[in-house]
Structure 1
Amino acid sequence: MENAGFIEVYGKRDRNAERKERPARTCMIPNNQITLLQNGCVYFPAVEAAIDRAMNEIYLETYIFENDNTGRCIAEALRRAALRGVKTHLLMDGFGSIGLPKTMVDNLEAAGVRVLKFRPKTSPWTLKRHRLRRLHRKIVVVDRTIAFVGGMNIIDHMDIHGQTSTRFDYAVSVEGPLVKEIHDSARRVWSRVAWTRLPPGWDEDNDRQVPSIEPKGSMRSAFLVRNNIRHRRDIENAYLQAIEQAQDEIIIASAYFLPGLNFRHALLDAAGRGVRVVLLLQGLMDHRLLHSASHALYGSFLDAGIEIHEYRKSMMHAKVAVVDEHWATVGSSNLDPFSLLLSMEANVVVDDARFAIELKHSLERAIEAGARRINENSWKTKSIKLRLVSWLSYGVVRFMIGVAGYAPGKKSGQARRR
C-alpha cells in the first residue's frame, strides 16, 4: 500500500512481511562510467557544456527552475540548442517552479524548446494528497550518450540570504549502457505529461535512433526511480538491502531525514551488530516543523551508538549514501515521507570501490569542515519541553501528510523543499 509508511503513527508494522516483499537485489548494469559531481560550481558547467555539444535531443527534468543567474544560463544553453535544431524538452514541477516568469517560458518556446509543467495546479486551498505528489527528479539526458542524475535543481547555489558558502549537494554524470535506462525513463515521463497537454503528433519528428550501449567504463550501476505506479519502493528497498548487508560502515547524508519504522530499525539493527553508522543531516533550519520532527529520532539513534552530525557551514541538500566502501547512491530522494511515499524521484546506485571511496572521503571532509557532532550526553540534557515539541512535530508531520495530504510551510501553506 502506497501510504503504508504512515501506519506507524497508529500501530506497529509487520517488518518481516515488508522484507519479504523486497526483491533479492538491485539489478546492476555493467560497463558504465559514473563521475561524481559535487556542488553547483562543478555540476552546472558540466551540464551546460553537454547541452552545447548536443546534436539531436535533450531531456531536462527539474523540480525548481529559477529565474536567477544559473537559471538564465541553463535557459540560454537550451535556447541555443533548440535554435540549431536539437529537439529540446524541459519538464519542471508546477509547484517547485511556480515562480518562473512567463516571459522566460515564452522565450524558450519561441526558440523551439518544448516546455511542460508537471501538475501545474497548485492551489494551497485544495487539501488533496495529490498536491504533494510532485516531480522531484533532477535529470538531464543529452543525445542518449550522457546523462546527469542527482539532487541539484536549476537554481543558484548561493541563493540563501546571508549564505557565505555554496549549497552542499551532489550529482553524477553517467556514460555507458545505463544512459539508455535514464533516457527511456525521462521520455516516458515527458510523454505522459505531453499526452494531456500537447496536440496529437507532437513527437512524430522524434527519431527512433537506438541509444548507445557501448561500454564506457567498468562500473556496475543501476538507475532507480520512485513513482506511484510500479516503482513505489524501489529506492527505499535498495537502501534497506544495502543496510541489511552492511558489515563495516554506513554513511548517509540526507537533507530531510524522517524515515519510516522499517528504515529506522534497519539502521538500529546494523549498529547493534557492530556496523559504524554515520548520519550527516541538515543543521541549518530550513523548514521548522520538519527540522523539529527529525530531532524526535535522535534519542534512539544516539542510544544505539549511531553518530549524528549536523551540517552547518551552508544549506545541505545532499541525498547520498556509502556502504562498506563499495555500494553508493546519489540522487534526488530524501529519506522522508515526501520522497519515499509521494514524490517522483530518481537515484543512481553504484557498486564500485573507487567511486564509493571518493564519495566517502568527500563526506568525511564535509563532516570535518562543516558539521557539528551531536553528543549523546548533551542531547539527554535537553529540556523535556524541547523533546516534547520534537515528538509533537513528528506526529503532526506524519499525520498531515498521511491522512490529509497537506504539509504546512511558508506563507501559502506550502514550502518548496529543495
Structure 2
Amino acid sequence: MAAEFKPGNRLTLLDSGTDYFPALLTAIAEARIEIYLESYIFAADEIGHAVAAALCQAAGRGVQVNVTVDGFGGRNFAADFLPQLTAAGVRAMYYRPEIGRFHLKRHRLRRLHRKLVVVDARIAFVGGINIISDDNAPPELRPHYDYAVRVEGPILADIHHAVRRMWEIVAWANFKRRFRLAPVSRPCCDIVGEQRAAFLIRDNIRHRNDILNAYLDAIDAAREEIIIANAYFLPGVRFGRALYAAAQRGVRIIVLLQGKTDHQLLRYATQALYATALQAGIRVFEYERSFMHAKVAVIDGHWATVGSSNIDPFSLLLAKEANVVVRDDGFGGELRSSLLAAIAHGARELPLEEQSRLPWHARLTRWLAYGLVRAMVGIAGYGQRHWNSREVRPKE
C-alpha cells in the first residue's frame, strides 16, 4: 500500500531521551481524556518510574490510560510496574507474553516493536525510543543515541486508529473483555502546520511491506544523496538492488551503523556485507561514541523517515513496526544536519582496504553469523536474501 501523505502537520524532531522524555511527560501531565502507550521495553529505571508515576497520576484524574508492552522486550514489566499501575486504574497488557521455558521460539521473533504514544487524540509520539533511560547501559554504551517525532495534525487520525486497533487485538488475545475502549475520541486533525507526512505500520496482513516500499520508492527517486542511520542493518535483495542502482547513477550514499552493539550476532552478519557495499561506492560509518539505536533516513534533504523499523529481516518481516515519513525541506534538513554532526563527532568511516585485510577467521566468523541469522529467519517461517552482489541475480 502506497504511503498516503497528508498536508498540514506540525512535526518536532526529538533527539534521544534528552528531548523525548520531557516532551512525553508534559503531554501525559496535560492529558484529559485518554492515553495509549506502546513500547517494546519499559525499564525499571528513573525514566520508567517517572513515566509510570505520570500515567498513574493521569488515571487518577479520570484519564483512560492504556499501556501495551511487548512480552519479551518488557518481560519484567509485570513484576516491576503492573501492581502499581493496576492499583491506580491504569489498564496494561502484554503483547505475546512469555510462557516460561516452553514459549515457542518461533513466536518469540514476532514482537511488538512499535514505540507509540497518543494523548487525547491530539498529540502523538512516534520513533525508536523505548521507555528506558539513555544511561541505562554499561558505561561504554552511554548515552543511547536515537530519535522520535512529536506529531500534531491530520496524520493523527491514522496513528490513533493504529493504537486503538492494536489495543483491541491484544485485549481479545488476552481475554480482557473488561478492557473495552471508551467511545472514539475525534482525532484533532486540524491543519496546524505546513508539513506533508504519512504514518506507516508493518504487520502481517494488509501492511506487510508498507515501510519497505516507502524506502524503495524514495531510494529509486533519489538524485543526489541518501543518508541512512540504522541500528540493525541487514537489507534484503530488493533494498540492496535499489541502493546499488542509486550508487551507479551517481547518488552519494552514507550508511551509519552501530560501532558498539548489544547484539553482536547481527553486527557480525552485517559486517559480512561491508566489502560489497564499499566496492559499490557506498560509504559506511560505525558510530563509536555510544550505543546508536536510531532508525532514520534522509534522501535528497527532502524525504525523511523516523520510526521503530530497522532495515533487517526481523523488523521488515516479523515485528510490528511504525514509522513517520515526511516530505519537507525543513524537517529533512534538520535531521540531515543532526546525522552529519553525529558522523563528524562520533563515527569512524570504514575504508575498503581495511575490509580487504581481514584475516580469514574474521571473515569466516562474519559469514557464519550471516548464515545463522538467515537460518533464524527461516525457522520463523520466512526466507530472506540479502544484499550481497552474488545474490542479486535471482528473481524474488
Instruction: Please tell me the TM-score bracket, short chain as reference.
Output: over 0.9
Quick check: 221-230 or 127-136, which moved more?
Answer: 127-136
> Counterparts of 1:147 and 1:134 in 2: how far apart (Å)?
21
User: Secondary structure, in 3 states, of the residue corresponding to 1:163?
Assistant: helix
Structure 2 length-normalised TM: 0.93
CA drift of 1:405 comes to: 6.3
Please say if 1:324 is aligned against 2:300: yes
- AA of the residue aligned to 2:21: F
> Counterparts of 1:208 and 1:162 in 2: how far apart (Å)?
45
Quick check: 154-163 or 301-310, which moved more?
Answer: 154-163
CA drift of 1:389 comes to: 1.6
The aligned runs of 1:14-29 (5 Å cut-off) are 25-29=2-6
CA drift of 1:198 comes to: 4.7
CA drift of 1:126 comes to: 4.3
Q: Structure 2, unaligned stretches of length 5 or more? A: 383-396
Equivalent position of 1:89 in the other structure: 66
Indicate conservation of the 8 Å contact 2:8/2:192, yes or no: yes
Please say if 1:47 is aligned against 2:24: yes
Equivalent position of 2:366 in the other structure: 390
Equivalent position of 2:285 in the other structure: 309
The aligned runs of 1:347-366 (5 Å cut-off) are 347-366=323-342
Equivalent position of 1:259 in the other structure: 235
Please say if 1:195 is aligned against 2:172: yes
> Counterparts of 1:103 and 1:380 in 2: how far apart (Å)?
48
Quick check: 156-165 or 274-283, which moved more?
Answer: 156-165
CA drift of 1:387 comes to: 1.4
Equivalent position of 2:145 in the other structure: 168
CA drift of 1:400 comes to: 1.8
Please say if 1:62 is aligned against 2:36: no
Structure 1 length-normalised TM: 0.89
> Counterparts of 1:120 and 1:259 in 2: how far apart (Å)?
28
Q: How many residues align?
A: 382
Equivalent position of 2:189 in the other structure: 213
CA drift of 1:27 comes to: 1.6
User: Secondary structure, in 3 states, of the residue corresponding to 1:333?
Assistant: coil
> Counterparts of 2:121 and 2:380 in 1: how far apart (Å)?
40
> Counterparts of 1:265 and 1:333 in 2: how far apart (Å)?
19
CA drift of 1:384 comes to: 2.2
Q: State the Cα deviation string for residues 274-314 of structure 1 (Å, max 9, x = none).
A: 00000000001321211100001101100011000000100
Indicate conservation of the 8 Å contact 2:3/2:199, yes or no: no
Q: Label 1:348 to 1:105 Cα distance change in 2 as closer, same or farther (>3 A).
A: same
> Counterparts of 1:285 and 1:199 in 2: how far apart (Å)?
37
Equivalent position of 2:351 in the other structure: 375
CA drift of 1:365 comes to: 0.2
Equivalent position of 2:388 in the other structure: none
CA drift of 1:99 comes to: 1.8
> Counterparts of 2:326 and 2:352 in 1: how far apart (Å)?
33
User: Secondary structure, in 3 states, of the residue corresponding to 1:91?
Assistant: strand
> Counterparts of 1:122 and 1:302 in 2: how far apart (Å)?
44
Q: Structure 1, unaligned stretches of length 5 or more? A: 1-22, 407-418
Q: 1:38 is matched with which residue: 10, 15, 20?
A: 15
- AA of the residue aligned to 1:290: L
Q: State the Cα deviation string for residues 230-285 of structure 1 (Å, max 9, x = none).
A: 11110001001101110000000000011111111111111111000000000013
Percentage identity across paired residues of the two chains? 52
Q: Label 1:219 to 1:87 Cα distance change in 2 as closer, same or farther (>3 A).
A: same
Q: State the Cα deviation string for residues 168-226 of structure 1 (Å, max 9, x = none).
A: 0000000011111101100000011112335535326x123321121110100000000
The aligned runs of 1:176-255 (5 Å cut-off) are 176-200=153-177, 202-203=179-180, 206-255=182-231
Indicate conservation of the 8 Å contact 1:254/1:334, yes or no: yes
Indicate conservation of the 8 Å contact 1:129/1:401, yes or no: no
> Counterparts of 2:203 and 2:315 in 1: how far apart (Å)?
10
Indicate conservation of the 8 Å contact 1:122/1:131, yes or no: no
Indicate conservation of the 8 Å contact 1:256/1:335, yes or no: yes
Q: 1:142 is matched with which residue: 109, 119, 125?
A: 119
Q: Label 1:124 to 1:307 Cα distance change in 2 as closer, same or farther (>3 A).
A: farther
CA drift of 1:404 comes to: 5.1
Equivalent position of 1:277 in the other structure: 253
Please say if 1:157 is aligned against 2:162: no
Q: 1:290 is matched with which residue: 245, 256, 266?
A: 266
CA drift of 1:26 comes to: 2.2
Q: Label 1:122 to 1:356 Cα distance change in 2 as closer, same or farther (>3 A).
A: farther
> Counterparts of 2:79 and 2:282 in 1: how far apart (Å)?
48
Structure 1 runs of 4+ with >6 Å offset: none
> Counterparts of 1:266 and 1:158 in 2: how far apart (Å)?
36
Q: Label 1:122 to 1:369 Cα distance change in 2 as closer, same or farther (>3 A).
A: farther
Indicate conservation of the 8 Å contact 1:258/1:335, yes or no: yes
What's the C-alpha RMSD, in Å, of the aligned pairs? 1.5
CA drift of 1:379 comes to: 1.5
CA drift of 1:122 comes to: 4.7
CA drift of 1:129 comes to: 2.0
